[in-house]
Amino acid sequence: MYTILIADDHPLFREAITNVMYGNFPGCQTLETDELESTLALTRDRDDIDLILLDLNMPGMNGLHGLITLRNEAPMTPVVIVSAEEDKQIIMQAITYGAAGFITKSSPREEMSQALQQILAGNTYMPADVVQADADDNQPARAMDSELFSSLTRRQLLVLERMSMGESNKQIAYNLNIAETTVKAHVSAILRKLGVHNRMQAVLCAGNLDFNQAR
């Protein structure tokens, strides 16, 4: 079962997140830290952490610099920002710097539960209003960059289409009848060819692409 590290300096919020985790993932183990240094130390000592829930404003973080430091320390462990911050630019920067998701502390319990389930399934999560706003802001840019998709192979387009449907690597591998390692290789190639840093950016970049026509 999952081992989740909750890094937040507010005990009541750590307790609330723990209750959400136990309600959705019975049998999971939660670890707690309240500042960046102890969070880094714990990630060095343990290799069984499946997910880190990180507060942007706890001691030692210095904003997104703490996220970058933690990603460098534990590059294979998904890090999700759970913060009171709701500024769209900060949310997008966090995703750009490698966060697997961004959950606002004002989110209803049900929304937070769905976000955690989505992230642990291997997907990226951002608040719906931020995703929509980003799609609206970048509509012209996506249209101008449509030629980028011509560099993708047919199989890569199939993988990108499945990514756009919110499927994890494991789900994509099953549906396309290929190995999960092959899916990971395709995802890496897609990110490189599209000039983006993570799955969410690739999906946003794809926008309203007609995959049937593209293939």
Helix, strand, coil percentages (3-state) for the chain, rounded to 5, are: 55, 10, 30
Query: What is the value of pTM for the model shown?
Result: 0.66
At 99, the pLDDT band (50, 70, 90 cuts) reads confident
Selected residue with higher pLDDT from 127 and 113: 113
For residue range 158-184, what is the model confidence (pLDDT) as tens digits?
999 888 776 778 888 999 999 989 999
For residue range 133-158, what is the model confidence (pLDDT) as tens digits?
554 454 444 443 556 778 889 999 99
For residue range 79-97, what is the model confidence (pLDDT) as tens digits?
999 999 888 888 888 877 7
Distance (Å, rounded) from C-alpha 35 to C-alpha 44? Answer: 15
CATH assignment of 3-127, given 3.40.50.2300, 3.60.20.10, 3.10.129.10, 3.40.50.300? 3.40.50.2300
Q: What is the structure's pLDDT at 140?
A: 45
Query: Above 70 in pLDDT, residue 100?
Result: yes
Q: pLDDT exceeding 90 applies to what percent of the chain?
A: 44
Question: Locate tokens 């102890």: which residue?
Answer: 38
Q: What is the structure's pLDDT at 141?
A: 44
Query: 181 in helix, strand or coil?
Result: helix
Overall CATH class of domain 138-214: alpha beta
Domain ranges (residues) in the chain = 3-127, 138-214
